[in-house]
Amino acid sequence: MTNIATAEQTVTLEIARYRPGVDQRPTLQRYDVPYREEWVVLDALNYLKDRVDGSLSYRWSCRMGICGSCGMMVNGAAKLTCAAFLRDYLPGPIRIEPLSNFPVERDLVIVLDDFMEKLTAIKPWIIRDEEQPIEQGEYRQTPAQLADFKQYSMCINCMLCYAACPVYQHEEQFLGPAVLALAQRYNHDSRDQGNADRYELIWSDEGIWDCTFVGECSAVCPKHVDPAGAIQQAKVESTLGWYRSFIAPFGRR
């Protein structure tokens, strides 16, 4: 039971601040926030913004790990701030910085244009040679067919995997973990017939072949998508396709 008559426990946050056009580079600003056992880092940020410093800029929405908005670096590790409990970082100070490997718009807000472009480029929708007529009803899938791609459909586009990927850090053209996992989500969906439309992009040097299987993308993923696994499977598929193209060069891929 907390005794409100005694001094309130606080925890120190060191938060990256960056004002475009004013600051040369981000700097860390220290704040003390009350410590609550049930608080997550996002609660602390919201407290700060409401009561202490309204100029602090950051993204958040659902506060329950499904929207993918609140990804930031907490003590150097990519995390959803709605899922990072203050109690796990005691005694502090807790360092909060914008997601690594992205340009910084302001404070904790990153520029995600590159990610959005790449996401669209792999055609993340069901591609069919011919749409089934409405009279035939819905496309049906067995549980096994669903299991083929379900894991990859759980991605919330939070970009923690991009912050964790050293290849993305150094190679601007790399499509990256989430985009490649999403491509596999559609490639493995029995309703989709667009594999060939995606291979050009994902089987390229800027696609799966830039990946060296560091594996940190899967380690930080809050939804257990396992993009590293998706990419390694794509490498196997690409390799089989490559060998097959010599044996049957005119076959449909």
Partner 1 sequence: MRRSNEPLFWSLFSAGGMLTALLMPALILVTGFLAPAEWVEYARLEALVTNPLGRLVIFAVAFLTFFHWAHRFRHVLVEMGLRRFGLPIAVVCYVAALAGSAWAGVVALG
Partner 2 sequence: MTAPYPRQRSNAWYLANWPYRLFMLRELSAVFLALYTVLLLLLVRKVHAGPAAFAGYVDTLQSPLLIAVHVVVMAFALLHSVTWFQAVPKGLPIRRGEEPVPPQLVIGANYVLLLAVTVIVVVVVRV
Q: Does 209 bind partner 1 (CB under 8 A)?
A: yes
C-alpha distances (whole Å) from 206 to each of 19, 167, 175, 202, 228 are 33, 10, 6, 7, 15
One symbol per residue from 155 to 174: x for binding partner 1 (CB under 8 A), - otherwise; what is it?
Answer: -----------xx--xx---
At residue 208's C-alpha, the angle toward residues 206 and 212, to 5°, is 100
Q: Does 238 bind partner 1 (CB under 8 A)?
A: yes
249: number of CA atoms within 13 Å, CB side? 1
Cis link prior to 133 (omega < 30° from 0)? no
Q: Does 53 bind partner 1 (CB under 8 A)?
A: no
Q: Furthest-apart CA pair in the chain: how many Å?
A: 80
Q: Which stretch binds partner 1 (CB under 8 A): 15-23, 67-75, 133-141, 204-212?
A: 204-212
Helix (H) or strand (E) holding 71: strand 71-74
Give 26 or 34: the residue with its C-beta nearer to partner 2: 26
Determine the Cα–Cα distance for residues 238 and 206; give it in Å rounded to an integer. 14
Q: Does 207 bind partner 1 (CB under 8 A)?
A: yes
Determine the Cα–Cα distance for residues 151 and 178; give it in Å rounded to an integer. 12
Site residues for partner 2, window 101-160 (CB under 8 A)? 101-105, 111, 143-144, 147
Q: Does 149 bind partner 1 (CB under 8 A)?
A: no
Query: Which of residues 6, 24, 142, 212 is near partner 1 by CB under 8 A?
Result: 212
One symbol per residue from 1 to 30: x for binding partner 2 (CB under 8 A), - otherwise; what is it?
Answer: -----------------x-xx-x-xx----
Burial (Cβ within 10 Å: 0-12, 13-18, ≥19) of residue 225? buried
Given the rule CB under 8 A, which residues bind partner 1? 166-167, 170-171, 199-201, 203-207, 209, 212, 235, 238-239, 241-243
Given the rule CB under 8 A, which residues bind partner 2? 18, 20-21, 23, 25-26, 76-77, 100-105, 111, 143-144, 147, 166, 169-170, 212-216, 219, 226, 228-229, 232-233, 235-236
